[in-house]
Amino acid sequence: AQSVTQLDSHVSVSEGTPVLLRCNYSSSYSPSLFWYVQHPNKGLQLLLKYTSAATLVKGINGFEAEFKKSETSFHLTKPSAHMSDAAEYFCVVGPRAAGNKLTFGGGTRVLVKP
Amino acid sequence: EAGVAQSPRYKIIEKRQSVAFWCNPISGHATLYWYQQILGQGPKLLIQFQNNGVVDDSQLPKDRFSAERLKGVDSTLKIQPAKLEDSAVYLCASSLSASGGAYNEQFFGPGTRLTVL
């Protein structure tokens, strides 16, 4: 079984300041972990993924996430927020092997203030 | 490369009516998924197809929901009859394959927003 908890339903940041979105997971096996972004009226887009290599994962648009097995966490960060980062972000846990079944967190809505 | 296409983008119906959504995956993608995303929640997998066969439909409410992918390409999701709680965005996704060893990225369509009155 697997589950994922996003600790903040809403995050508000000022443009140019750091962004931190928190995610904790639970999995009965060694998981794959992902962050997806969803802009209004757009499809979900993959930001980054962790499968089994480096624990610090770099994604698109300056985002990165660190896999911490001891803390069962996979927090997403960006050093400097841009107005275009305003969107909903989903932390997702899935299997490393076949099956591709993904379990989504509840989402964190990011507001960027000018 | 064309993405996952879905239609219609929006649909408003009254409860007890029926509705159908269509999805055309990325060319060459063997696996197709339908998700339900209720407002304020993350997407939940309803059904997964590998070519034209069902891999997982454990969370599909089979008394009212049905889906098919007859030729292993595009797919239709139907709700009959609709209930108020079916109001949600229905997302379609596709990936190269869900079999074999490695994870294959799922690519999502823009979704169909269903409102049941």
Best B1, B7, B47, B103 member to test A by mutation, with max A CBs in 10 Å, is B103
Is B103's CB within 8 Å of A96's CB? yes
Question: What residues in A contact B32, CB-CB < 8 Å?
Answer: none
pLDDT value for A25: 93
Task: Look over chain B and give the mean of its residue pLDDT values, rounded to a whole number.
Answer: 91
Is B45's CB within 8 Å of A42's CB? no
For residue A98, give the nearest of B4, B41, B101 by CB distance.
B101
Q: Whole-angstrom Cα distance, residue A9 to residue B59?
A: 25
A27 touches chain B (CB under 8 A): no
Segment B8-13 mean pLDDT: 96
pLDDT value for A53: 75
Residue with tokens 């999701």: B77
Residue with tokens 């009959």: B80
Q: How close A36 gets to chain B, by Cα (Å)?
A: 10
Least Cα distance to B83 among B17, B5, B33, B3 occurs for: B17
**Residue pair A38/A87 in contact by the 8 Å Cβ criterion:** yes
pLDDT value for B102: 59
**Residue pair A78/A63 in contact by the 8 Å Cβ criterion:** yes
Q: What is the dihedral of CA A4, B38, A18, A58, to 10 degrees?
A: 60
**Residue pair B31/B49 in contact by the 8 Å Cβ criterion:** yes
pLDDT value for B38: 95
Q: How close B82 gets to chain A, by Cα (Å)?
A: 23
pLDDT band at residue B71 using 50, 70 and 90 as cut-offs: confident
pLDDT band at residue A100 using 50, 70 and 90 as cut-offs: low
pLDDT band at residue B97 using 50, 70 and 90 as cut-offs: confident
Is A90's CB within 8 Å of B43's CB? yes
Is B101's CB within 8 Å of A45's CB? no
Buried b (16+ CB within 10 A) or exposed e, B11-36: bebeeeeebebebbbbeebbbbbbbb
DSSP string over A35-55: EEEE-TTS-EEEEEEESSS-S
Least Cα distance to A4 among A107, A88, A111, A86 occurs for: A107
Task: Look over chain A and give the mean of its residue pLDDT values, rounded to a whole number.
Answer: 91
Q: Whole-angstrom Cα distance, residue A103 to residue A105?
A: 7
For residues B71 and A1, which has the higher predicted lDDT (pLDDT)? B71
A20-74 pLDDT, tens digit per residue, is: 999 999 987 778 899 999 998 788 999 999 987 788 999 999 999 999 999 999 9
B28-49 pLDDT, tens digit per residue, is: 999 999 999 999 899 999 999 9
Q: How many CB atoms lie within 10 A of CB A75?
A: 18
Is A100's CB within 8 Å of B91's CB? no
In the stretch 34-73 of chain A, residues with CB closer than 8 A to chain B read 36, 41-46, 49, 51
